[in-house]
A = this chain, B = another copy of it.
Amino acid sequence: MATASGQPVYRATTTAPVNIAVIKYWGKRDVTLNLPTNSSLSVTLSQRSLRTLTTASASANYPAEDTLNLNGKPQEIQSSKRTLACLSNLRALRKSVEDADASLPKLSALPLRIVSENNFPTAAGLASSAAGFAALVRAVANLYQLPQSPRELSRIARQGSGSACRSLMGGYVAWRTGEQADGSDSLAEEVAPASHWPEMRALILVVSAEKKDVPSTEGMQTTVATSELFATRAESVVPARMDAIEAAIRDRDFPTFAEITMRDSNTFHATCLDSWPPIFYMNDVSRAAVRLVHDINRAVGRTVCAYTFDAGPNAVIYYEDKDSELVAGTVKAILGASTTGWDGPFYENLAHLTAPGVSFDSIDSRVLDVLKGGVSRVILTGVGEGPVTVEDHLVTETGEMVNN
């Protein structure tokens, strides 16, 4: 804390990761509380590639209303019920702490200044809300020195953005749908830490961005309300897949993990197509990525890679590090050196490659053309850790926003 203009400025800063679901969250049974119709499971991606950095600060110097600045732009915090719900929950927990120990500063009564930055461009088409709300909750919880575990905090992050609850932990993270009407048991929990299966890699193919057709919040409720296939997925298909993929993760059984991941992506998009009016997130480039993955697996003779698609056309391809040449090496050869995004912490065992890991003879020639024409950049990353407390604050000791 600092006291430059009379009153102390309290600060805490954290990073938070992006996560990509392998069992998809699609459908809310309670829209206000963000309670899902089914459990989901994701892989937390390395913050060496993608992360949100957020500083939460509190000071009596600040204007009376809480403020949030995201990527240099002030946000309309008062109109965001989701943000207000998170902050209100966190303040209540701080109040309990203060009530139990009168020696503590009354931070719960102070205005907040929250500043957040993503290190990836919006144009990448990645859902940033998960990392953003996870970072916000983690940063304020740190500022307030809350004793709650990540699992307990996930109840709060979930109200900001459903999938945000899974970004409070690293590795392989389940979000249990829960049974209580108040959402008290709808929580994230670590199925396995990143260290259990650190070889998992993720190659994101960023598909040239059309305007997103239907925002996911709206789309998922259209599906819940209209798809006659949806209930089967939520009630019967997903519970079986959750059990199976958790076992596959425990056993580090990539082929099983991969098949469940691909099938659940397909089932999720099938329920979108079955919605009324229908929702399409995958396009011809996405379909080409699906073919590519099947063609690579067929050519290699075992399942070395898996695709998954969120509410957009980008493909995320999971594989194990030992198969980098076969998978990422083949994609790199298809897309050519001009595609951006190959450099970075996971590039080293690809840099020397001069030929595709899998011969182009094994791949549908239309697939090669469509991918080359439709993928503008890649992000090469892997499984990673949860939020990390850091000292590179985005608010100065005197409470000013840092200009980066």
Contact = CB atoms under 8 A, between A and B. Distances in A.
Interface of A: 210, 228-229, 231-233, 236-237, 259, 262-263, 266-267, 269-271, 273-278, 280, 283-284, 287, 290, 294, 366
Given A229-B232, A229-B233, A233-B229, A287 B280 contact: yes
Contacts of A294: 277
A317 to B, nearest CB: 15
A232 B82 CA distance: 35
Contact of A273 (B269, B276, B283, B284): B269
Nearest to A241: B228
Given A232-B232, A283-B284, A366-B210, A273 B278 contact: no
Contacts of A231: 232
Contacts of A232: 228-229, 231-232
A267 B229 contact: yes
A237 B228 CA distance: 7
Contacts of A290: 278, 280
Contacts of A266: 273-276, 278
Contacts of A262: 276, 278
17 contacts: A229-B232, A229-B233, A229-B237, A229-B271, A229-B274, A232-B232, A259-B276, A262-B276, A266-B273, A270-B270, A270-B273, A270-B274, A273-B273, A280-B287, A280-B290, A283-B284, A284-B284
Nearest to A280: B287
A325 to B, nearest CB: 24
Contact of A287 (B237, B263, B270, B283): B283
Contacts of A259: 276
Nearest to A213: B291
Contacts of A237: 228-229
Given A229-B274, A263-B276, 11 more contacts: A228-B232, A228-B233, A228-B236, A229-B233, A229-B271, A232-B232, A266-B276, A273-B273, A278-B290, A280-B290, A284-B284
